[in-house]
Structure 1
Amino acid sequence: MEPACKRHFIQDSCLYECSPNLGPWIQEVNQSWRKERFLHVPLCKEDCERWWEDCRTSSTCKTDWHKGWDWSSGVNKCPAETVCHTFEFSFPTPASLCEGLWSHSYKVSNYSRGSGRCIQMWFDPAQGNPNEEVARFYAQAMTSKAVAHGRGLFLPSLALALPLLLLV
């Protein structure tokens, strides 16, 4: 993997593991290795395009990295009989990479960085976290939609509910 490509995967891991602003997109799942995941996070189109551009010449044997790896040796390896191709071959568009790579964890937004309507993978923390405004916007929209449809807001756990409630 090219170093510029690897940076995006490191940043993606940091966002996934550490961001308090993904609460509106957390869904319960029944998988042996986790109970929750995020789904359809609106990723700013420029961040997706840059990720794809920086990874175009790197190689992969899979288009969905969530499942299907060979773990028999204790580390993830490509499944038998798979062939590695460039990311550009495996993911012909930026959206196919960003939306397909992690089973639709991300949804490429039509909004741009700084709009307050899409999650930015990259930002300068000294300038504040632009994803706070995005999470607040979507949390309020989801709450309003649930109330308008006569449903209470489903909150999978207190650990997830607290950041969401703080945003609203």
Structure 2
Amino acid sequence: MGVGQMLLVLLAASLVVSTRDPLLNVCMDAKHHKTKPGPEGKLYEQCSPWKDNACCTANTTAEAHRDQSYLYSFNWNHCGVMPPKCKRHFIQDTCLYECSPNLGPWIDQVDSSWRRERILHVPLCKEDCEEWWEDCKDFVTCKENWHKGWNWATGTNRCPWGAMCRPFKEVFPHPKDLCEKIWSHSYSYTTLQRGSGRCIQMWFDPAQGNPNVVVAKYYAWKRRTSPAGVDNLTPEVDKARRPLPCSGMVLLVPLVLVVTFGRSWSLSGTSP
């Protein structure tokens, strides 16, 4: 291999590395997230599926399992004790939010005192949303949107004055209402099923690998190839608003030029 060809190979390899998709394998800029994902020796109970590559620490996952933790001083039991079968979904929701490095296509910029980024319109698999609703439908709450509007006078969330505690199935008549409204549209309800490669799973068996890796790659690819159609990536969802970096296109031009000239050098017997 001539010097010119060697340089071409090295340049092409460096360009591939430099064009790594910034929507993949990333952590949010938020209150308890690590700056970069990486392996953790051990994550607590329901958060353990992310231990090989996580945006959270072990301490964060332990706190996620407490009824009222230092993470956000949020009280699940604001209208009575939340049943364990319901609470496990909220714990899993917290684990996904804090630990997953596969939410990049749905990260959105926010102006908040405690975080600079959030997730928006993550396409949640049908089973995850419907099981969440089924296990919580008889629990009671006083609010539809748990992100805001609480009474924080005591340092933890309490129902606002005059708000009545009602069963989930009245506050959220359908699974779609629960998944989309409770966290200000962080999730979108879909009819897509687990294993489809097109929806994010809150629950998965780590022995089978993390299915959300493929899902994130799919939506990152869709954003690159259909920037004008970002709102229609699936029949149901993906209204992510994060701007698409153009670095890949910028780097593609010099690569084409180098390959072209490299071919000319090779034909003329001249090395650069």
TM-score bracket for this pair, using the shorter chain length: 0.7 to 0.9
Residue identity (%): 62
| In 2, Cα distance between equivalents of 1:31 and 1:145 | 30
Count of aligned positions? 153
| Structure 2 residue 226 is matched with structure 1 residue 145 | yes
| Structure 2 residue 177 is matched with structure 1 residue 96 | yes
Structure 1 residue 144: deviation in Å? 1.4
Q: Deviations over 1:19-75 (max 9, x none)?
A: 000010000011222211100000001110000000001011100001111111111
The answer to whether the 8 A contact 1:63-1:101 is kept is yes
One-letter amino acid of the counterpart of residue 227, structure 2:
A
Residue equivalent to 1:17:
98
| In 1, Cα distance between equivalents of 2:152 and 2:191 | 37
Residue equivalent to 2:40:
none
Q: Which of residues 96, 120, 128 is equivalent to 1:47?
A: 128
The answer to whether the 8 A contact 1:147-1:153 is kept is no
Larger radius of gyration: 2
Structure 1 residue 7: deviation in Å? 0.2
One-letter amino acid of the counterpart of residue 172, structure 2:
F
What's the TM-score, normalizing by structure 1?
0.87
How large is the Cα RMSD of the aligned pairs?
1.8
User: Structure 1: 5+ residue runs without aligned partners?
Assistant: 156-168
Q: Deviations over 1:51-101 (max 9, x none)?
A: 000000101110000111111111111111110001001000000000000
SS at match of 2:156: coil
One-letter amino acid of the counterpart of residue 2, structure 1:
P
User: Structure 2: 5+ residue runs without aligned partners?
Assistant: 1-81, 231-242, 247-272
Residue equivalent to 1:29:
110
Alignment of 1:1-168 (within 5 A): 1-146=82-227, 153-154=244-245
Q: Give 1 or 2: higher strand fraction.
A: 1
One-letter amino acid of the counterpart of residue 244, structure 2:
L
Structure 1 residue 154: deviation in Å? 4.3
What's the TM-score, normalizing by structure 2?
0.54
